[in-house]
Amino acid sequence: MKIERIAQAGSLESCDILITVEPSKPKTGIHIHLESPAVKQFGDRIKSEITEVVKRLEIQNVKIIAIDKGSLEYCIKARTETALRRASGE
């Protein structure tokens, strides 16, 4: 899958996450900027959950901005996938 435009999924409601996806140049890899109230306790885990979805969709280069409000794993994965699919023009 290829990221062609900026897209979003999610919200800033409590227990949700707002994922913004932007295209990036070839060979720049996956970049994730994360803000979360639980960044110390769960920062690495949230990033790896996002990365997992990106890799599953076979995306090599993307910039992701994640503003977390205490979301759980299934929410993070669903929001990430939706944002990526919207950005790919599917």
Where on the chain is the footprint of other proteins (CB under 8 A)? 14-15, 37-38, 40-42, 44-45, 69-73
Cβ closest to other proteins, residue 4 vs residue 44: 44
Cβ closest to other proteins, residue 50 vs residue 62: 50
Q: What three-state secondary structure class fits 46? A: helix
For residue 80, the minimal CB distance to other proteins (Å) is: 15
The full 3-state SS of the chain, as one line of letters, equals: CCCCCCEEEECCCCCCEEEEEEECCCCCCEEEEEECCCHHHHHHHHHHHHHHHHHHCCCCCEEEEEEECCCCHHHHHHHHHHHHHHHHCC
For residue 5, the minimal CB distance to other proteins (Å) is: 30
Cβ closest to other proteins, residue 54 vs residue 68: 68
For residue 27, the minimal CB distance to other proteins (Å) is: 32
